[in-house]
Chains A and B, each alone.
Chain A
Amino acid sequence: MAASAGASRSAGQKPRPVRRALLYLGVILTALITLFPFFWILRTSLESDNQVAQGVGGKNGIIPGHLGFGSYVTDLTTQHFARPLLNSAVVALATTIVTIIVASLAGYALARLHIRGAGAILGFILLAGFFPVLAMIGPLFLLLRHLNFLDNIYPLIIVYLVYTLPISTWLLKNFFEQIPIELEEAALVDGASRLQTLRKVVVPVALPGVFTAGILSFILAWNDFAFAVSFLRNTQHFTAPLDIVTLGQSAFQVFYNRIDAAVVIITIPIAALVLIAQRRIISGLTAGSFR
């Protein structure tokens, strides 16, 4: 089969099987290169302190000799990583909730109410989202200090809205626009008020968009380092990304295993979220409503 397929081609063209093999090779290589850092982090996180000190090589090769969860335990107990994790969770969750509520209302207004200058408003919102974060840190620091909001995780929620609101508003506006307006008109005729229409019809139908905006917001808030490092001082108030900085350092050794274990721990909620939400993002949700 392969030979005849190859033979039927004109000279100069690679026969199909070879092209396919090359394609697979490319894909595998890309996958390996992309996944290698994650693999390495996972691998290192499962090493013991001694193995890290020994370095890579010999018995401690690509797959280390011994694998153990010791670093994880150390992180969560003696290194007190649990507290920053909780801080991160609280802030990210709160930011996500506020974002979804505000962005839904704003996105709906921009999509449905024919406001003159709606385009300009959206443009302005997006512009704020593209603004370099590091440039904001100085002025924000002064503002927070003035308000006595430094070294406190709760003001961070408001600050993180800088990351999350622009893109969530834009996303939800686009989602709402795609929902045929007849759906809302049907709800109106059925007796629903505008707000009831939004709550009972529009948002459920736009749930894929709401979920996407939520996940995006959570990730942005969870992963932030710049604002956290600038506005938090007391280690009790640190968020998880910030805590990792001090976690694996000692005067004598850098505990890569502990650092990497912390990185894995930090990544778990995000990975879980995306997996769960993938099931929720059912694009066929709106498939049956029309025609």
Chain B
Amino acid sequence: MRGRPFLLIAAAAILAALGLTLAYHHGGLAAGARAERKKVDVIFKMTDNSFWRSVADGVETAAKDFDLDVTIEAPKDETMINAQIAMLRAAVADKPAAIILAASDYRLLVPSAHEAKERGIPLVCVDSFIESDDADVKIGTDNVEAGKRCGEALARIVPPGSEVAIMSYVKGSSTAMGREAGARSVLEGTMSLLGTEYSGSESKTAFQQAEALLMQHPNLRGIAALNQPTVEGAARALVALGCSGRVALVGVDNSFEILKYVERGVIRDTIVQKPFTMGYLAVKSARELIDGGHPPRYINTGSVDVSRDNMFQSENQKLLFPVAGGS
């Protein structure tokens, strides 16, 4: 019988149907597997700080958007570098889908980060970077630029040749180095620059250092404080010694306290980073790396000059004042 070809067609139709069914179910399984969310370990510099809370907010928002399971941890404060190294090691041993790190030290975290790299764990550095190429993506404020803007703000307020001081925080941190370099590039030469202080990101230390500066240098006309606790400590010292009219304080970062001082005119200008954006983009990049994509290797999230004049402008309000319970 020569009708065989038609039986073949019928057989082909069945096979096609089966194939499609399989393909569909396979797709269904793949989609099901995605439901088991990839784990991303996030290690920050410190807990209990408005800047890092904003970064965490961005991370958590993005985790929802990009379907990732994030765990955020951090040492109690920024100087506990060993604790952070231990956390990074534990994370590497845990082998998550990706690690997001804000390095407290530019050099000391390199070996552990390298280990992550060797184990094939994608690494995203946020805010503060490390002295190696092990990070797949670096996201943060251009700290040299932030420092420069800070210096420029001070230079706008105080006359040239005035005595000014730079108050930094952790000596080995990449952000601190960048900001200091930026501020120096503006102030060195035009101003009489005193030696740099390091507060260790402790507002108490900063207060004491600022108090000492103010008392030892009666001609001091300006202070550039390079991170949040340092700005806060310096502002408190200015208020405590009643020098806010005489000494202009400019800073980097914001907090409720800093904004209060900005409103009161104690802090003349502060360079505000975009922590929420940093956190969000860090997770977005992690997702792309997990999916085998190639996100940009470096993202500058930018910064904004905030002074009493523009702090209540609608585009700045959301950046400066956290909405209770997250946005």
> Do A and B interact?
no
Residue positions of A touching B, CB distance < 8 A: none
